[in-house]
Amino acid sequence: MAADRRLYVGPSLRRLRRDLGLTQSDMAADLEISPSYVALLERNHRPLSAELLLRLARTYKIDMDALAGDASADDIARLQAVLKDPMFADIDLPSLEAADVTTNFPGVTEALLRLYTAYREEQLALADRGVAIDAGQRGGVDPSDPVAESRRFLEARRNSFPSLDDAAERLAQQVAQHDGLAGYFKARHGLRVRRLPPEVMVGSTRRLDRHRREVLLSDELDNASQTFQLALQLAYLELEDDVAAIAADGSFATESGERLTRRALSSYAAAALLMPYTAFARAVEARRYDLEALSRQFGASFEQVAHRLTTLQKPGQERVPFFFIRVDEAGNISKRLDGAGFPFARHGGGCPLWNVHQAFRTPRQVVTQWLELPDGQKFFSVARTVTAGGGGYGKVRVERAIALGCSAEHAGRLVYTDGHPQGPEHATPIGVTCRICHRTECTARSAPPIGRQILPDDIRRTSAPFGFSDN
């Protein structure tokens, strides 16, 4: 019977204690129990009594439902996701066993999750160095490259941070009670929001003026960008500890790498504040991942929605896993996020046959494409140009193209595949980058593949830019 069910909340209790900055002895003193009993509770060796649950709620002003709920569900889902890694394919790992390990051995679960995350980061680092060495760059990638450090941190965690989603969602509920962000700034922080011309902002798009108690925004920003900058400032003010706790899990060789990561996490929090996980995840299914419809619903830009779609991997509430890339007309990659296992080129440009590079021909129009990699993997890509800057006549605008993609198995859930003139069987064959693509007949190739012998052309010239041997 439900009334007889014993309540084991070890992982949740341990997380609460750490969030409060308490030792087991501190918590024991607060609850008037022994430190050893706290340890037993955290290891799930003892159930939590109703009396102690009430004492916890009164002492630390917490929601009993949050503590008494299925606290290990998140860890169970995370562990099950880890155990789907191909390296474990030959091991029989029933889902019930993962649940048993998480429930009965929360410390072991946490250790495994940390170890796997560290392993993923190391694999990404090795991939960086390996590609560079193959490309003839002796010594590999500089291990202190801050951009690479930040990208590895995000990729190892699939650009998904459920604790930040939860914190931002709670904050969004508070903001909604104060008639939006401007009202919340005034009520909670005593800050007035002002929009000023660029000559007053002197090169800034957003600035916190603590002396005058104002948040200043450039009036050159469009509405979506102004709203995002307000959300970002609020994330810096109220979610700094949540961001710091996540960043502390990384091993950064440079201060710049850590700062870039904190900045990315703060932007993640701002997007989660404007597009709260629960409501947004529900909307993407209802709208079938229509980015323009979602943009209107949440008052966000096309690019902001595309970013947010890459983050919807909260354990137990996963949506379609996407990858994201942003390029300029010269092919320079300014942003890359991967939640779908797409093998981005870590050095050099992308494949010219991918239509993200052709989106500039039809500005602001969505273009779609089926893609097939040399190993047979197929993806569906949605691309469109986006504009940054401008805001007035004569102002410099920067045009970029973004692409959002998912594996073929998920593509049917996207509205963009409805009535598509081609199916996956007619996918465009692309490579990751020319230096590691071994398609022998590609006429768009800009460089020969690494490790292949170039054939002379004094007798025969191939239609492809380079002829190279088959072995």
Which range (99-108, 148-157, 294-303, 440-449) has the least confidence?
A: 99-108
Predicted pLDDT of residue 408:
92
Task: Read off the pLDDT of residues 33-86 as tens digits, 9 standing for 90 and up.
Answer: 999 999 888 888 888 888 898 888 888 887 776 665 554 566 777 787 788 776
Predicted pLDDT of residue 66:
61
Predicted pLDDT of residue 82:
80
Q: Which has more confidence, 452 or 307?
A: 307
Task: Indicate the SS3 state at residue 372.
Answer: strand
Give all strands (DSSP E) within 112-228, no chain letters.
Answer: 192-196, 206-209, 214-218
Task: Read off the pLDDT of residues 91-146 as tens digits, 9 standing for 90 and up.
Answer: 777 777 777 777 667 778 777 877 877 777 666 665 555 444 333 333 344 556 88
- Which of the four pLDDT bands, split at 50, 70 and 90, describes residue 440? confident
Task: Read off the pLDDT of residues 5-35 as tens digits, 9 standing for 90 and up.
Answer: 577 777 778 878 877 777 888 889 889 999 9
- Which of the four pLDDT bands, split at 50, 70 and 90, describes residue 345? low
Predicted pLDDT of residue 3:
43
Say whether pLDDT at 438 is over 90.
no
Q: Are 402 and 396 in contact (CB under 8 A)?
A: no
Predicted pLDDT of residue 463:
76
Q: Using H for helix, E for strand and C for coil, what is the string for 16-85?
A: HHHHCCCCHHHHHHHHCCCHHHHHHHHCCCCCCCHHHHHHHHHHHCCCHHHHHCCCCHHHHHHHHHHCCC
Query: What average pLDDT score do residues 313-320 get?
Result: 90
On whether the pTM is more than 0.75, the answer is no
At 207, phi and psi to the nearest 5? -150, 135
Identity of the highest mean pLDDT range in 199-208, 236-245, 433-442: 236-245
Angle between the 291-298 and 302-309 helix axes, to the nearest 10 degrees?
A: 110
143-274 has the same fold as 2-71: no
Predicted pLDDT of residue 310:
94
Please name the residue that has the structure tokens 């090795």. Answer: 126
- Considering the domain delimited by 2-71, tell me its CATH architecture: Orthogonal Bundle (1.10)
**What class has domain 143-274?**
mainly alpha
Whole-number Cα distances in Å, 7 to 54, 60, 126, 195, 235: 13, 19, 44, 52, 35
Which range (199-203, 234-238, 270-274, 394-398) has the least confidence?
A: 394-398
Question: What is the torsional sign of CA 27, 33, 35, 41?
Answer: negative
Q: Which has more confidence, 73 or 445?
A: 445
- Tell me what the pLDDT averaged over the chain comes to: 83
Neighbours of 269 (CB within 10 A): 27
Say whether pLDDT at 410 is over 90.
yes
Task: Read off the pLDDT of residues 346-387 as tens digits, 9 standing for 90 and up.
Answer: 655 678 888 898 899 999 999 999 999 888 889 999 999 998
Predicted pLDDT of residue 228:
96
Predicted pLDDT of residue 199:
87
Going from N- to C-terminal start, the domains of the chain cover 2-71, 77-141, 143-274
Query: What average pLDDT score do residues 208-234 get?
Result: 94
Say whether pLDDT at 230 is over 80.
yes
